[in-house]
Amino acid sequence: MQTVETIASVRSALAEHRRAGRTIGFIPTMGALHKGHLALVRRARAEVDVVVVSIFVNPIQFNDQRDLAAYPRDLARDSAALHAERTDLLFAPTVSEMYPPGFQTEVRVKEVSKPLEGVSRGTAHFDGVATVVAKLFNIVQPGRAYFGQKDAQQVVVVTRMVRDLAIPVEIVVCPTVREADGLAMSSRNVRLDADARRRAPAIKRALDAASRLVESGERRASIVAEAATRTLADAGITPEYCDVVSPVDLRPLESISDDVLIAIAARVGDVRLIDNILVSIGSSAQ
């Protein structure tokens, strides 16, 4: 595995592969890698010739400077894990490489950035995500890019951006990887104290309770959201949001007539966690 820090060295490392017509798969991350990230790398390894991973804790997508400062970083451990997964190229740029003095361009995906995380963290969060992902796509120019369903709104924002700007990349969405007790793997989980770690799996239980209701025929979104909220309350968790939305454009739903996305954000102890479940009701919708 080759590790590079500059845009110029990514371009030169990939030039020969591109000339030879090899397919390039790309996984953008913020590091502190866990099995969720590595599942994306493994999927790419199985599908493309050249696997490129970026590790960049993107300052412009953090609305909370304490969260940015506390974000876990361990490049040595991450590189060993990526090497073991047969990654070809690791791009780990500095902040000044990505945002040199004078940088002033922003990519904003207007509507789908507004609900859910947009309400909780502000729409600037996804402006930061869209801007960095657009820049990374321009640097790596992959044929495929791999994202986790764990960050459902990010998938919608990036998919919309790629369509709107005609960026020639296929977005591949991979299932959420979980701990044995259901907690979605996240780089932030290491910051949960013992009490919060014990309570956090209630988020998945809440999503499952909501999903079971939809599957058993409940079509009122408010009843579905209430079931999830009750399960969270039993674990002493008050969500920032617990929303039933369209998986296509994240529009809030009142009544469920097609596939739905149920999304939760909650602070557990000191740590803000997000999770979601997609419930497919297909053509049997009532």
Catalytic residues: 37
Kindly tell me which residue out of 174, 228, 266, 279 binds ligand AMP, with binding defined by CB under 6 A: 174
Q: Are 149 and 247 in contact (CB under 8 A)?
A: no
The residue (of 150 and 253) whose beta carbon lies closer to ligand AMP is: 150
Q: How far is the CB of 190 from ligand AMP (least distance, A)?
A: 13
The residue (of 30 and 162) whose beta carbon lies closer to ligand AMP is: 30
Q: Which stretch binds ligand AMP (CB under 6 A): 81-89, 102-110, 176-184, 245-253?
A: 176-184
Q: How far is the CB of 44 from ligand AMP (least distance, A)?
A: 12
Binding positions for ligand AMP, 187-246, rule CB under 6 A = 187
Kindly tell me which residue out of 186, 211, 229, 276 binds ligand AMP, with binding defined by CB under 6 A: 186
Q: How far is the CB of 256 from ligand AMP (least distance, A)?
A: 25
Helix (H) or strand (E) holding 37: helix 35-47
What token pair was written down for 229?
């909220």
The residue (of 75 and 233) whose beta carbon lies closer to ligand AMP is: 75
- 3-state SS of 69-133 is HHCCCCHHHHHHHHHHCCCCEEECCCHHHHCCCCCCCCCCCCCCCCCCHHHHHCCHHHHHHHHHH
Tokens 């949960």 — which residue? 192
Positive or negative torsion for Cα 134, 135, 138, 139: negative
Kindly tell me which residue out of 151, 197, 201, 245 binds ligand AMP, with binding defined by CB under 6 A: 151
Kindly tell me which residue out of 29, 189, 231, 276 binds ligand AMP, with binding defined by CB under 6 A: 29
Q: Tell me how far apart the terminal alpha carbons of the chain are, to the nearest angstrom.
A: 52
The residue (of 25 and 148) whose beta carbon lies closer to ligand AMP is: 148
The type of residue at 58 is N
d(CA 143, CA 161): 15
Q: Which of 273, 268, 274 is nearest to 194 (CA)?
A: 268
Kindly tell me which residue out of 116, 184, 209, 210 binds ligand AMP, with binding defined by CB under 6 A: 184
Binding positions for ligand AMP, 256-285, rule CB under 6 A = none
d(CA 238, CA 230): 9
Positive or negative torsion for Cα 269, 154, 108, 13: positive
The residue (of 18 and 83) whose beta carbon lies closer to ligand AMP is: 83
The type of residue at 241 is Y
* Binding flags for ligand AMP, 102-141, as an x/- string (CB under 6 A): ----------------------------------------
- Which residues of the shown chain bind ligand AMP in the complex (CB under 6 A)? 29-30, 36-37, 39-40, 147-148, 150-151, 174, 176-177, 184-187
